[in-house]
Structure 1
Amino acid sequence: MKKIIIVSSILLYKIFFAQVIIGDAIGTATDKTSVLLEFANTNNKGIILPYVKSLPAGVTPGTILLDASNPSQARIKYYNGIWQDLSGRDGNINTALAQQTNNSENANAKVIIGSNTSSADGVLVLESTTQAMVIPVVNDVNNIPSPSPGMMVYVNKTGAKRLAFFNGSIWSFWASN
């Protein structure tokens, strides 16, 4: 009985304090101690942010999305107390929206990584005070054959390391000062 409790405790510890890597077992981060979620090093894929047809109210700071309230003027935005534009320019996602199916969604559905519960409202919620997400890394956005509106990647190019966002028409880049 003691052995069963010990093994069960170890398994539960691994489950609750595990890192999630999507796409392979290696990921891109060399030091995994502060990583909650990361992605395989494919060099040609990114994260697709959720499209919203109206900006949500009661948003948790740190929310990032594609504002599709006007599909011909779509913009990547994040929330830090007020909505901030990351695109800088309009994107047209009318074609992408027309190709989506109109399945009804469960408004309460969400995946939480790093905690058992979260009061944050989102499709994917990462909860941690000590770990972060490593977004997909690419050498150049030109390596991505068909970027989707709302795609986000980190460009790891000598002299041009930065976040890149595809708003449906063009790539926008954000580099720290």
Structure 2
Amino acid sequence: MKKIIISSICLMISGVAFSQVIIGNDIGTATDKTSVLLEFANTNDRGIVLPYLRTMPVAPTEGTIILDATDSTRAKIKYYNGTWKDLSSGNEADISTVLTKQPTVTENNTVGTIIGSDQTSATGGALVLESSNKAMILPQVTSTDVVINPAPGMMVYIKGTNKRLAVFNGSKWTFWAP
């Protein structure tokens, strides 16, 4: 009986330790799941939306990507790697109308979702992915044209011959190619 209980516990722990999250279905897009922590269903018409920040964080964690809405008439996609970098290629968007539809909340920095760690991360964020050997696979599309009504801050990966990352700032898509 002891062996069965110990084996069951070990099986549950290994399932949690080596698991991944697929949002949208149980297949995802990656053929090899060994390096994937988070991925999305292959819908070909949706993306993920970055958080809209009306107040910039004082000490963000490196790797943070946000939609800077401190001036809602000049919103930009930004990335933090020790200093904030503008990823909008100089493109700004007026998202003031979009922000009127968003709830205004008082943020609780101790609440968030952490995937891939022991759930005791000191990193603040709405969604934190922590892993030393796994990554997130962005939602994949054939073209930004297939995304109907993209939300400001939406990110997608364009697959096919013109492989690149695309981010929508509220008025236009910005593209990054390797």
Partner residue of 1:86?
87
Letter in 2 for 1:175: A
Q: Give matches, 1:14-33, under 5 Å.
A: 14-33=15-34
Task: In structure 1, list runs of 5 or more residues that go unmatched.
Answer: none
1:63 aligned residue? 64
Deviation at 1:101, TM superposition (A): 2.3
Q: Is the 8 A contact 1:86 1:174 kept in 2?
A: no
Gapped regions of structure 2 (runs ≥ 5): none
Number of equivalent positions? 175
> Whole-Å Cα distance in 2 between the matches of residues 127 and 107 of structure 1?
17
| Cα distance in structure 2, aligned partners of 1:28 and 1:86 | 26
Structure-1 separation of matches of 2:165 and 2:32: 20
Distance of 1:126 and 1:134 partners within structure 2: 12
Identity %: 53
Helix, strand or coil at the partner of 1:14: helix
**CA pair 23-6 structure 1, distance change in 2 beyond 3 A:** same
Q: Secondary structure at the match of 1:5?
A: helix
Separation of aligned partners in 2, 1:81 and 1:105: 23
Amino acid at match of 1:84: K
Give the SS at the match of 1:36: strand
Residue in 2 that maps onto 1:133: 136
Does the 8 Å contact 1:115/1:128 carry over to 2?
yes
Q: Is the 8 A contact 1:38 1:136 kept in 2?
A: yes
CA contact (8 A) 1:28 1:38 kept: yes
Q: Is the 8 A contact 2:109 2:124 kept in 1?
A: no
Match runs of 1:20-59 below 5 Å: 20-59=21-60
Runs of 4+ in 1 over 2 A off after TM superposition: 101-107
- Corresponding position of 2:154: 151
Q: Of the candidates 110, 118, 128, which is equivalent to residue 121 of structure 2? A: 118
